[in-house]
Amino acid sequence: MLTNSDMKRLRSLTRKKFREQYGQYLIEGRRLITAALESSAPLLETYVTPAFLEHPGHQELIHRLDNLFIPYTVIIESTMRKLTSTVTPPGILGVCSFPETLIPEPETRTNRLYLDRISDPGNLGTLLRAAAWFNVTQVALSPESIDPYNPKVIRGGMGAHFALTIFTDITLDRLCGAPHVVLGADQCGQPLSELKLSPETPWILVLGSEAHGLSPDTIPLLTHTVSIPRLGSGESLNVAVAGGILLYLLTTEM
């Protein structure tokens, strides 16, 4: 049974202040719940509608929850609508606890993505998906970036959060170590395809805000500025599109 206290807590998790207070965040929909289970993410509890519970195609997922002793509570459609931020309620909602807080080690020879003042939740979700796709598993966000556990970012990430180590409120100088080449994306930079990097050289790719580009604090820390040549027309690329292309080039072509 969903208590008033539970209802208040769940509704509050749409706000960063309360996500931090409880150390929890929401995931919505069958796909995200399945991704959480496959990644052994810390899924604490779930809530399902009667229609979802009775659907023949959902029985395997319900059995997995039972086998893993993850409780599910049946709630009516109108209650689910109050708890989710989507127009059409997903039928299942989960609560995850935050992963363990880690501090990045600059000397670790690991490729990283650094997001500098990224404010759009859709762009951040897409960038997290791209990082997971190209196996760049460490992503750091500057203090001015949007919360990666914002519900819109979670939906846009499509389960990428469970494959990544995400550092928040990190300044770039805390990531930069002796082994890393620091690459800042900038339209005026050198085409990335012309930059010759040794495969053994770890890198940090820095992407700036959609509106303002790289922040003044990050520019002195860059080893190179890199770009994607324009072959046609257009003023610029969306940061998520540019980030995906650069990650592809760095992980498959360099």
Query: Which of 168, 111, 157 shows the shortest CA–CA distance to 134?
Result: 111
Of the options 3.90.1150.10, 3.40.50.1860, 3.30.1490.20, 3.40.1280.10, the CATH number for the domain spanning 112-253: 3.40.1280.10
Q: Look at residue 233 and tell me whether its pLDDT is greater than 80.
A: yes
Q: Look at residue 5 and tell me whether its pLDDT is greater than 80.
A: yes
Position 89 scores a pLDDT of 84
Q: Look at residue 22 and tell me whether its pLDDT is greater than 80.
A: yes
Confidence (pTM): 0.94
The string of pLDDT tens digits covering residues 179-229 is 899 999 999 999 998 998 888 899 999 999 888 899 999 999 999 999 999
Say which DSSP state 215 is in. -
Nearest-angstrom CA–CA distance, 33 and 51:
17
pLDDT over 70 for what percent of the chain?
100
**SS3 for 198?**
coil
Nearest-angstrom CA–CA distance, 236 and 92:
39
Q: What mean pLDDT value characterizes the chain?
A: 94
The string of pLDDT tens digits covering residues 24-53 is 999 999 999 999 999 999 999 999 999 999
Cα→Cα distances 240→12, 91, 209, Å: 29, 29, 10
CB 114 within 8 A of CB 204: yes
The string of pLDDT tens digits covering residues 148-172 is 999 999 999 999 999 999 999 999 9
pLDDT over 90 for what percent of the chain?
83
The domain locations on the chain are 4-97, 112-253
Cα→Cα distances 121→94, 95, 124, Å: 20, 20, 5
Could you tell me which CATH number the domain at 4-97 has?
A: 3.30.1330.30
Q: Look at residue 176 and tell me whether its pLDDT is greater than 90.
A: no
DSSP string of 65-97, one letter each residue: HHHTT--EEE--HHHHHHH-SSSS--SEEEEEE
